[in-house]
């Protein structure tokens, strides 16, 4: 009985220790960094990734991100704040709603259409080549033609 | 034309249509003198609520697109404020539009230069896009009927305002 209790206590201690270790790791994983965020957002004035931009507006945007990082905001919160300031076009990846959705849907639809077209084409080609396979070979020349052919072949026989 | 060909043509047309639509919503063309000024509704830079040019109908309005990170905007701000002090009233106002800027930076700019004329916020550049601006600063003079009467894609100074804008305005201040 006491063995079972001690096992349970040990198990709980292990779980608590794991949770204690996991918390800082998770926090570190969620911590925002300017290097990561500037790869995912745009400089709205330059029309390039913020990472590549050095314009005065880009400098202000980077400083804004730094301030939010210093305030302990997560990456998602910082991106939300950027969207609130500059609109959705500040995000480097298209949104999954409205017209921007077409950036995701059109390639998928185009791929599916191409795949279906290829499959149908392959099916038709197989049918066409399969239909000619079982037919008997064409009959040879008959009557006078056969005699003339034999005579010609005999003349050129080496 | 067979059904299959019709579907193929429709597919191609749909793709071309998508591309054209994408291009159209990306690029705007600059409004010209004589064009109606866009009535884009934008939030106020300070305080709540939205405003549009329609609310200024009956007045001359000098629409000034600016941003706090723009050096020429810093140079023209005192001239615009002085012009507003001289001519602002019930018949004329300067209307600032802080475009593609951070709200905090824009408000700081207004305080720093003591700008007393109304200010709107155009964070995503939608207002600037509607006017077809290519940068900041840009200035558009809109008449009481809502038509663009003069524009300058660049900064103004006091002399320029006196020579180019003042002649349009009514002699009486208000």
pLDDT of residue A100: 67
- B124 and A87: CB-CB below 8 Å? yes
Question: A115 with A74, same domain?
Answer: no
CA A145 to chain B, closest CA, distance in angstroms equals: 46
CB contact set of A52 (below 8 Å; sequence gap of 6+): A43, A46
Q: Can you read off the two tokens belonging to residue B102?
A: 């951070």
Phi, psi at residue B66, to the nearest 5°? -145, 170
A34 inside domain: yes
Q: Which residues in chain A have their CB less than 8 angstroms from residue B123's CB? A: 84-87
A153 inside domain: no
**Quick one: average pLDDT of A120-139?**
76
A106 inside domain: yes
Q: Which residues in chain B have their CB less than 8 angstroms from residue A61's CB? A: 102
The tens place of each residue's pLDDT in chain B, 174 residues long, gives: 677 777 778 878 877 776 766 655 555 678 999 999 999 999 999 999 999 999 999 999 999 999 999 999 999 999 999 999 999 999 999 999 999 999 999 999 999 999 999 999 999 999 999 999 999 999 999 999 999 999 999 999 999 999 999 999 998 765
**Quick one: average pLDDT of A73-96?**
92
- B100 and A44: CB-CB below 8 Å? yes
Q: Can you read off the two tokens belonging to residue A135?
A: 């037919």
A138 inside domain: no
Give me the residue spans of the domains in chain B: 1-29, 31-168
CB contact set of A42 (below 8 Å; sequence gap of 6+): A48, A49, A50, A89, A90, A91, A92
ipTM of the modeled complex: 0.82
Instruction: Note down the domain range covering A47.
Output: 27-93
DSSP B158: H
Q: How far apart are CA B108 and CA B46, in angstroms?
A: 11
Report the 10 Å Cβ neighbour count for A42: 23
Q: Kindly identify which residue of chain B lies nearest to residue A100, measuring between CA atoms.
A: B22
- A60 and B123: CB-CB below 8 Å? no
Q: How far apart are CA B12 and CA A16, in angstroms?
A: 60
Chain A, chain B: beta-carbon pairs less than 8 Å apart: 40
- A85 and B103: CB-CB below 8 Å? yes
Given a cut of 80, whether residue A64 has pLDDT beyond it is yes
DSSP B150: E
A46 inside domain: yes
CATH class of this structure's domain B31-168: alpha beta
Q: Which residues in chain A have their CB less than 8 angstroms from residue B10's CB? A: none
Q: How far apart are CA B10 and CA A17, in angstroms?
A: 63
**Confidence tier at A91 by pLDDT (50, 70, 90):** very high
Strands, E assignment, A1-138: 42-43, 48-49
pLDDT of residue A26: 52
pLDDT of residue A137: 65
Given a cut of 70, whether residue A19 has pLDDT beyond it is no
**Quick one: average pLDDT of A72-80?**
96
């Amino acid at each position: 009985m006491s063995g079972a209790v001690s096992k349970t206590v040990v198990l709980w201690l292990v779980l608590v220790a794991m949770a204690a270790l996991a918390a800082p790791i998770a926090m570190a994983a969620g911590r925002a960094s300017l290097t990561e965020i500037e790869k995912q957002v745009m400089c709205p004035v330059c029309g390039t990734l913020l990472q590549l931009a050095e314009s005065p507006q880009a400098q202000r945007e980077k400083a804004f991100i730094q301030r939010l990082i210093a305030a302990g905001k997560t990456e998602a919160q910082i991106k939300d704040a950027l969207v609130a300031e500059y609109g959705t076009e500040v995000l480097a990846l298209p949104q999954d709603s409205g017209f921007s959705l077409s950036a995701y849907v059109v390639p998928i639809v185009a791929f599916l259409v191409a795949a279906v077209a290829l499959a149908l084409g392959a099916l038709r080609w197989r049918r066409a080549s399969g239909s000619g396979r079982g037919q008997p070979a064409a009959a040879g020349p008959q009557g006078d033609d056969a005699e003339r052919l034999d005579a010609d072949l005999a003349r050129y026989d080496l | 034309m067979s059904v299959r060909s019709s579907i193929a043509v429709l597919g191609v047309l749909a793709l071309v249509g998508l591309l054209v639509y994408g291009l159209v919503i990306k690029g705007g063309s600059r409004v010209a003198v004589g064009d109606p000024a866009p009535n884009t509704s934008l939030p106020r830079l300070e305080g709540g609520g939205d405003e549009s040019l329609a609310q200024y109908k009956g007045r001359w309005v000098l629409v000034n697109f600016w941003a706090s990170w723009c050096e020429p905007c810093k140079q023209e701000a005192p001239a615009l404020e002085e012009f507003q002090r001289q001519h602002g009233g019930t018949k004329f106002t300067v209307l600032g539009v802080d475009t593609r800027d951070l709200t905090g930076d824009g408000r700081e700019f207004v305080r720093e230069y003591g700008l007393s004329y109304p200010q709107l916020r155009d964070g995503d550049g939608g207002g600037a896009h509607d006017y077809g601006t290519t940068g900041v600063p840009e200035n558009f003079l809109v008449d009481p009927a809502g038509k663009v009467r003069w524009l300058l894609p660049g900064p103004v100074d006091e002399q320029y305002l006196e020579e180019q804008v003042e002649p349009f305005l009514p002699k009486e201040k208000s």
